[in-house]
Amino acid sequence: MDISRKTDYALRILSILATSESDLLSVRVAAEQVDVPYSFARSIQHGLAQAGIVESLRGVHGGMRLKADPAAITLCDIVEAVQGPFCINECTAPDADCSRMSTCCFHPLWLGAEALMRDYLSSITLHDVVTWSRFPAVDAKFTDRSAFASYADCASLRRHTGA
């Protein structure tokens, strides 16, 4: 999993919106502030609007603004809105079709890594980050080896190891 440049720019734009005193932010101004080409900023705005994170208003006095409360938007929501679902490996994609999935000892590890990352980024909101009021955390289940099966699909692992 790689946090793309597009996601990085989206997070920067959203941080401006979350801390701005004005209601609307011009896409052109946002592009200049995060040092990204205007057309790329428009693409980011479009994706965030489709995900329901921002709303766009056209016209001379138009721009974009947060559609949801920043305290309700998790970093996981933002990353998945821009990049799509978390995918550590091709075999963990929602439509994965790997012939080795049921016998591969690494498949549950990749599922676990995705669950860990999703949990970590879901533990903090846009508001938490921009106000430095709370930092991300990881659920204790990820430190308990016996809990692995609860967040990674280990059914295929158990069949092959006899566990």
| pLDDT tens for each residue of 32-90 | 999 999 999 999 999 999 999 999 988 777 889 999 999 999 999 999 999 988 888 87
CATH number of 1-69: 1.10.10.10
Residue type, 83: Q
Domain range summary for the chain, segments of one domain joined by +: 1-69, 85-163
Q: Taking all residues of the chain, what is their mean pLDDT, rounded to a whole number?
A: 87
State residue 71's pLDDT score. 96
Q: Side-chain half-sphere of 14: how many Cα atoms within 13 Å? A: 37
Residue 149 above 70 pLDDT? Answer: yes
State residue 161's pLDDT score. 38
pTM higher than the cut 0.85: no
